[in-house]
Amino acid sequence: MVVNTSKREKKEKYDQKLCRLLDEYSQVLIVAADNVGSTQVQNIRKGLRGESVVLMGKNTMMKRSIRLHAENTNNEAIRNLIPLLVGNVGLIFTKGDLKEVREEVAKYKVGAPARVGLIAPIDVVVPPGNTGLDPSQTSFFQVLNIPTKINKGTVEIITPVELIKKGDKVGSSEAALLSKLGIRPFSYGLVVLSVYDSGSVFSPEVLDLTEDDLVEKFANGVSMAASLSLAISYPTLAAAPHMFVNAYKNALAVAVASDYSFPQAEKVKEYLKDPSKFAVAVAAAAPASGAANQEKVEEREEPKELVEESEEEDLVAGLFD
């Protein structure tokens, strides 16, 4: 009976803590905690202390607390957390910058040996070189088809060998060899799976977007909206400038093809009646541009002349030293 009371009290305290955090924080990182030890979690808690709180627990307890709290507070937004609580996951409540918190969590990855039966998260490549093992250990290398040679009484690997591929299970031979070589190929830590922010849920990749990325995506969206509006002849703010320009072109084409005219079309009609004016305009523009270019050339050559004059002055002065 005492044990049951103790368990009930722990559940109540956990429920109260989770509900308090849901009320206090609007940002939550949902993190995977596979192969992460308790000491590692404690270090992460210390590193985030002050602006973030790490909460681990059973998924069923967390789902129940969130569901009841949503009913009691009429805060339906927090229900979006429930579908995310799948697998070995935890919650990081924070008031800080989400990207900075994620980077801080990533600092606490710890190297781990390749244990038998684990699914390899990365490719494992054994580098060439001296292993420090005596020739009696060559059986491990022969089983795994790793080319070796005996050099100065020790086994030496000749070429790099891809021992384990990502997604494969670690076998007993691979685990034993990596242990003998002192290689800890894997590293584990809390991995951010999803981000919750005031009811919205999105992928952690969104945190890597910069202002330039957002401006580029916005510009692409405006361009697509303008293209669609022009294609269906539906006026929008994005398409309005293009529509005005196209309308002006159409009005200008009508004026040129008929006796109808308006002030903006008079100059175009004048040029079309006397094409030689095009040549006059170009000829008038050419000397102006030529003069400007000549001025630029003179400006560039002026420092050179000054240098030459100073050199001559130094030479003359040297004759009387």
18 lies in the same domain as 103: yes
What is the domain-level CATH number for residue 141? Answer: 3.90.105.20
The CA distances from residue 83 to 78, 163, 251, in Å, are 11, 37, 59
Confirm whether 261 is domain-assigned: yes
Q: What is the pLDDT of residue 117?
A: 85
178 lies in the same domain as 225: no
* Residue 18 CB neighbour total at 10 angstroms: 21
pLDDT digits (tens, 9 = 90+) for 241-300: 888 888 888 888 888 888 777 787 777 777 777 777 666 666 666 555 555 555 554 555
Q: What is the distance between the terminal CA atoms of the chain, rounded to a whole angstrom?
A: 113
Structure token digits, residue 75 = 């805060």
224 lies in the same domain as 245: yes
91 lies in the same domain as 219: no
More confident residue, 281 or 223: 223
**Rounded mean pLDDT of 61-82?**
92
168 lies in the same domain as 258: no
225 lies in the same domain as 96: no
What is the domain-level CATH number for residue 196? Answer: 3.30.70.1730
Q: What is the pLDDT of residue 182?
A: 84
pLDDT digits (tens, 9 = 90+) for 25-45: 999 999 998 888 888 889 999
172 lies in the same domain as 29: no
- Phi first, then psi: give them for residue 265, nearest 5 degrees: -90, -15
More confident residue, 126 or 305: 126
96 lies in the same domain as 198: yes
154 lies in the same domain as 261: no
Provide the residue range defining the domain that includes 137. 118-185
Please say if the pLDDT value at position 305 is more than 50: no
On average, the pLDDT of the chain sits at: 81
Q: pLDDT band for 318, please (50, 70, 90 cuts).
A: very low
Confirm whether 98 is domain-assigned: yes
Q: What is the pLDDT of residue 202?
A: 92
Exposed / middle / buried, residue 253 (Cβ in 10 Å: 0-12, 13-18, 19+): exposed
25 lies in the same domain as 83: yes
The number of distinct structural domains making up the chain is: 3
268/284 Cα distance (integer angstroms): 18
161 lies in the same domain as 31: no
Q: What is the pLDDT of residue 113?
A: 81
